[in-house]
Amino acid sequence: MPVVDFHIHPLVSEVIDEDKYKCQREVFGLRTSPQPLETLLSQMQEASVERGVLLALDCSVKANCSLPSNEEVASIVKKYPSKFVGFGSLHPYREGSLRELLEEEVINLGLRGLKLNPSIQDFDPLSQRALQLYGELERLNLPLIVHTGLSWFPSTSLEYCKPLIWDNVARRFPNLKIVLSHLGWPWVWDAIAVALRNDNVFLDISNTFTGSPNEHLRYLLTELVPKRFVERFLNEKIIFGSDYPRIEIPKMVRALRGVGLKEEIEEAILRLNALKILGDEE
């Protein structure tokens, strides 16, 4: 069964120079050396990942860097258009017109969505400027993926990580597709509540804050949230993501397949739900 990985950070050696590596360590908290793009492609092939969503992160206001930049994500997508979909990033406090910035740095580069992490980027997700940004995304029909759940860095705000924030955004912008990353752990049921009551909200299951990939997904999808609840109520809400390079993609795919979900639910999580968000339904 082919897979769509909705949560890949392309922190690859082709785009990480010395300054970006410093930003990667100090801002993003990732201390492993960047691997070549070929390593990512190899992991995707091993895990039968047909498409990966590459995420930029604009930290220019807080740390004068990007992880990576919109242009760098677009360059990878251009090189492998059948393998990757690019999501840009834009700090809402950037100077200038948000409409013009989105046109220039996302639309014109062929990127198909936006990635935000209010905690790391250090902005209030309910500020007026942020709300203006969501309105522009809704107008352009660009999906939004946001970090929710624990941030390990003491310098970042946990308040900005809470999934309930996005209920306010989802209700105000009902045509904006919003993906809450990491299933909001440890506020998992808050994230689920937001997704259940808003047709435009989805949940990705990336990362292993709760242990190894096997431990993480068994805990989330069979223990903390009963499997019958996942299959009955979240079958169209959950999408697969690895959080590469923090986590190896094949291990996450094997872990999801080992949970024991019904075959049709597994296929929805691994592929079909993501294609609907991207507007690429077959």
pLDDT in tens, 15-72: 887 777 788 787 777 777 889 999 999 999 999 999 999 999 999 998 888 889 999 9
- Given a cut of 90, whether residue 277 has pLDDT beyond it is yes
Q: Taking the domain 3-278, which CATH number applies?
A: 3.20.20.140
Sign (positive or negative) of CA dihedral 188, 189, 194, 198: positive
For residue 22, how many other CB atoms are within 10 A of its CB?
Answer: 13
In the chain, where are the structural domains located? 3-278
What is the pTM (predicted TM-score) of this model? 0.96
The 3-state secondary structure of 152-203, one letter per residue: CCCCCCCHHHCCCHHHHHHHHCCCCCEEEHHHHCCCHHHHHHHHHHCCCEEE
Residue 19: predicted pLDDT: 74
- Given a cut of 70, whether residue 2 has pLDDT beyond it is yes
Residue 127: predicted pLDDT: 98
Residue 1: predicted pLDDT: 85
Band (282; pLDDT cuts 50, 70, 90): low
